[in-house]
Amino acid sequence: MSITRRTAAGLAAALGLWACGTAVGAQTLDEFLTAIASADKDVRGAACEAAAAQGAPAVEPLATLMTNENRDVGRAATAALRKIANRAVRPGAARAERNAVAAALVKLLDKSRPAVVREEALYLLSLVGGDGEVPMIAPLLRDAALREPACDALIRVPGKAADEALIRALDAAAPEFRPRVAAALGQRRAKAAVSALVPLALGADKDLAAAATNALANIGEPAPDVFSPKTLTAQSDAELARLADAYVLYARNRTAAGDAASALPICTALLARGKADHLRVAAIGGIADAGRFASELPTILPLTCDESPSVQAAAIQAIARLNGVSLDGIAAAAAKARPCERAALLRAMDALGTPQATAKLADYLDDADGDVRVTAFELLSAAPPTDAALAQRFLKAATQKTGPEPIASLAMAGYLRIADAEMAASHADKALPMYEAALENATGREARVAALKGLGTIADPALADRVRAAMTSDAADAAAQAYINIALAVARGGDKARAGEMLVEAASRGTTGPAVDRAVAELHKLGIDTTGIACKAGFVADWWLIGPFPNEKKSAYETAYFPEKKVDLAAGGTVGDRELRWEPARIDTVPAIVVLISRYKPNQNVVAYGYAEITSAADQPVKLKLGSDDGVVAWLNGERVFATNADRGLRVDEDVVETRLKKGRNTLLVKVLQGSGDWQFCVRITRPDDTPLDLSTP
């Protein structure tokens, strides 16, 4: 891999090998500068890559090259300068090396230099500078052209000198730049700036006051004259919207500093004052940080029943986070709370995340209030402990079908999760009867799917009939997956022939999707020919196709082209000046989707026809199931049985027509409409009970 080569080169550079006698590192400064100024990009590039070791002496001449008329030379010089700067402050670098580079960069700040050079020098000083460089950077805060990069540099340079320089600039900088300076002190979290910022925050200049207020919030040192319930309450709505974040941040920083006493009243005031739900959420979060459970619960608890879901969620989380919160405390509060609040307290209990809290939730499964019971079932069923008594309680609730509607499905979900946990613990003997009971009693598809998944994991061949029966249910795909697992178990037991039959059945009876694909893949692994499976699954797989016919402005839906008048597979027909012929197509995939888009040109705003003959052993009722992209019109034995002019994607079996096949030969003609995008269709025939008609046997 190329990584090895380049990683080695990178490491070599990092270790300074360029300076230790390698070919490039041996360049003299003049040779290096000549190479950087070369018109040959490769000479230039190689020099640039090795620039770091040239150190401080190269800084000034590289700066001169930055403005070279050849822009690529200028860029190479800039890149080389950056490499020198980065190397000078690598961990373990000699202080003298850094000082030399920094000093060389400071010289580039001279007014005689082009602006682009001075800006680049400030940028590099932001990365390598220290206290010693600050006196040369600070005056540039008064230079309209350079104050922004100078400010950037002072934000990044560590140490007291930068703090002090910015504090001085609060007075010395141009008035319109002072808000930026104030913000910079906030970004640095400069504690020394608090006394200078407070009067600005309280001053008349609104922009400067806002910047100073935000800076003070960032710094987080005590500033009670700026941040108090009183000042918050005095803010206009517009100002509060502008400064709310500062109040919240200040409160959080005070809490983090151990000064919850300052923080709590501010958050409480914001909660009372805030109209927008997101501000109340922020206030609640601040109270959760600073407050104690015993004292703040009365404030927070009513908010769990607020109209705003965001506020509800924040209040519940806050209760679980309040200092001094305990399970007993929440339970005691729940005993006295009104139902809505009690349900929320259950969620707070759950948020504690302890096994004891989970166990406690079981106490509320029989609560007098329906919403509380639903909440208890919801929380407990999401991650229930593996407890046999609880499992029985879930099963009972799932089968009783009394009480609030969601309880039965929640209880069944919990019951199945316990079964899954037993299974994961290799207790298949305990899990099996639970899955069976679940399948028997499930009222929803989700539970049927989970139960079948469990039975499929156990994969006992004795379960085959039961699982097979579910392949016509709304959980057909899960049943097919389980049936495949059982088939594989049968194969492992040595009966490959039976396993093959079962897999064919799974591929045929499942609707579509991964189970069918998996069954086919497993058949391949067993070495079983899968040709004709589509027919066994009831799909019409042998077609005659003809097209394309025009469909401008969807006109073809009502236009009867020649196939609708007479199907003559040998003759074809003419559309405009084009002669069209019927062509056979055999589809071997499951489902047997006939893709038209790659077959015809043009393939937008057109239609094509498909014709098939189906032999039926008897006169019988059937379901004709169609899927198409876009619309489709179908004729069975010459009778128009279905039509839609929809713009849609293909879904297998989307349209179902209850009709009859006559004994012997039946003709099927479909017109598949196409606007734009994909263009395809499929047809399947099943019995009225949805079991597929095996079309592979005439």
Residues in 650-669 that interact with another protein by CB under 8 A: 651
Q: Cα torsion at 685, 689, 692, 694 (round to 10°)? A: -90
Integer Cα distance of 469 and 471 in angstroms: 5
The reply on whether position 506 binds another protein by CB under 8 A is no
The reply on whether position 633 binds another protein by CB under 8 A is no
Residues in 517-576 that interact with another protein by CB under 8 A: 517-518, 521
Pick 207 or 568: Cβ nearer another protein: 207
Shortest Cβ distance from residue 480 to another protein (Å)?
Answer: 10
Window contacting another protein (CB under 8 A); options: 258-266, 481-489, 557-565, 676-684: 481-489
Pick 461 or 513: Cβ nearer another protein: 513
C-beta separation of 650 from 593 below 8 A = yes
Residues in 24-43 that interact with another protein by CB under 8 A: 41-42
Going by C-beta distance under 8 Å and a sequence separation of 6 or more, which residues neighbour residue 335?
Answer: none
The reply on whether position 346 binds another protein by CB under 8 A is no
Residues in 168-197 that interact with another protein by CB under 8 A: 179-180, 183-184, 187
Integer Cα distance of 316 and 294 in angstroms: 15
Quick one: which of 60, 97, 143, 152 contacts another protein (CB under 8 A)?
152
Shortest Cβ distance from residue 611 to another protein (Å)?
Answer: 28
Shortest Cβ distance from residue 23 to another protein (Å)?
Answer: 17
The reply on whether position 500 binds another protein by CB under 8 A is no
Q: What are the backbone dihedrals phi and psi of residue 656, each rounded to the nearest 5 degrees, phi first? A: -120, 125
Pick 2 or 574: Cβ nearer another protein: 2
The reply on whether position 97 binds another protein by CB under 8 A is no
Quick one: which of 17, 172, 313, 575 contacts another protein (CB under 8 A)?
313
Window contacting another protein (CB under 8 A); options: 307-315, 394-402, 466-474, 552-560: 307-315
Residues in 265-294 that interact with another protein by CB under 8 A: 271-272, 275-279, 281-282, 285
Quick one: which of 84, 104, 108, 128 contacts another protein (CB under 8 A)?
128
C-beta separation of 473 from 496 below 8 A = no
The reply on whether position 456 binds another protein by CB under 8 A is yes
Pick 457 or 605: Cβ nearer another protein: 457
Phi-psi region of 519 (alpha: psi -120 to 50; beta: other; left: phi over 0): alpha
Window contacting another protein (CB under 8 A); options: 48-56, 159-167, 580-588, 634-642: 48-56
If residue 206 lies in a helix (H) or strand (E), which one and from where to where?
helix 206-219
Integer Cα distance of 229 and 237 in angstroms: 15
The reply on whether position 628 binds another protein by CB under 8 A is no
- Picking from 613, 630, 615, 601, the residue whose alpha carbon sits closest to that of residue 664 is 615
Window contacting another protein (CB under 8 A); options: 102-110, 501-509, 513-521, 526-534: 513-521
CB atoms within 10 A of CB 618: 8
Integer Cα distance of 388 and 307 in angstroms: 39
- Picking from 592, 658, 602, the residue whose alpha carbon sits closest to that of residue 627 is 592
- Give the tokens for residue 578: 């084009």
Phi-psi region of 16 (alpha: psi -120 to 50; beta: other; left: phi over 0): left
First to last CA, the chain: 58
The reply on whether position 262 binds another protein by CB under 8 A is no
Residues in 399-438 that interact with another protein by CB under 8 A: 419-424, 431, 435
Going by C-beta distance under 8 Å and a sequence separation of 6 or more, which residues neighbour residue 237?
Answer: 275
Pick 193 or 695: Cβ nearer another protein: 193
Integer Cα distance of 84 and 57 in angstroms: 10
Quick one: which of 265, 302, 339, 572 contacts another protein (CB under 8 A)?
302
Q: In what order do the strands lie in the sheet with 583-586?
A: 583-586, 542-550, 606-616, 664-674, 632-636, 639-644
Window contacting another protein (CB under 8 A); options: 47-55, 257-265, 586-594, 601-609: 47-55
> Alpha helices of 510-652 — where are they, by DSSP H?
514-525, 533-536, 562-565
Name residue, tokens 């190689």: 46
The reply on whether position 369 binds another protein by CB under 8 A is no
- Classify 394 as helix, strand or coil: helix
Quick one: which of 22, 67, 399, 457 contacts another protein (CB under 8 A)?
457
Quick one: which of 22, 45, 55, 446 contacts another protein (CB under 8 A)?
45
DSSP of 322-362 = SBT--HHHHHHHHHHS-HHHHHHHHHHHHHH--HHHHHHHG
Pairing of strands 606-616, 620-629: unpaired
The reply on whether position 626 binds another protein by CB under 8 A is no
Shortest Cβ distance from residue 598 to another protein (Å)?
Answer: 18
Residues in 107-126 that interact with another protein by CB under 8 A: 119, 123, 126
Quick one: which of 268, 358, 381, 485 contacts another protein (CB under 8 A)?
485
- Picking from 643, 571, 641, 557, the residue whose alpha carbon sits closest to that of residue 607 is 557
Pick 84 or 580: Cβ nearer another protein: 84
The reply on whether position 623 binds another protein by CB under 8 A is no
Shortest Cβ distance from residue 698 to another protein (Å)?
Answer: 32
Quick one: which of 28, 236, 307, 527 contacts another protein (CB under 8 A)?
307
Shortest Cβ distance from residue 599 to another protein (Å)?
Answer: 24
Q: In what order do the strands lie in the sheet with 594-595?
A: 594-595, 680-686, 620-629, 655-661
